Amino acid sequence: MGRGKKLGVLVGPLLLLVGVFLGWLNIQARCDFAGAPRVQATVLSAHYKPGGTNAFEIILGIPEPVPVDDIRTAPDHLVPGDTVTALVRPGHALLPEQLSWSTLVFPVLFAGVGLLVTAVGVRAIRADPPTGPTDPEAWL
């Protein structure tokens, strides 16, 4: 077996960790807003970067002003006065479309590739074990 397949034992867990890191905010939001009531809210303010696709801040009135969490996944082109459905926790709000499963596709893909590469690396090491426990070059 080649050296590259054996390195999968090191590279695979790193890819898995990258996948978990990329999906962590979405997973945390799903846990935080699990069971949160859905309410109708009015957009009080929505400030976007030039081009109108990335938000700086979105404030909803529910009836008190509440900021939208995880602003990077917030929908584009909201304007003050729009009525939206929001998931609400004290002092926090999240729009249901921010929790779509499509936001987890990329992190899950990274984690899956990491698991696959790790399995290939473990299989390569089992198929061609090192010649001696004291010889570090034998692992490569």
CA distances from 14 to 19, 87, 104, 114 (A): 9, 34, 18, 7
Q: Is the pLDDT of residue 72 over 80?
A: no
pLDDT value of residue 26 = 87
SS3 85: strand
Is the whole model's pTM more than 0.75, yes or no? no
The reported pLDDT for the residue numbered 137 is 67
Kind plus residue range of the DSSP H or E element containing 97: none
Closest CA relative to residue 14, chosen from 123, 121, 132: 121
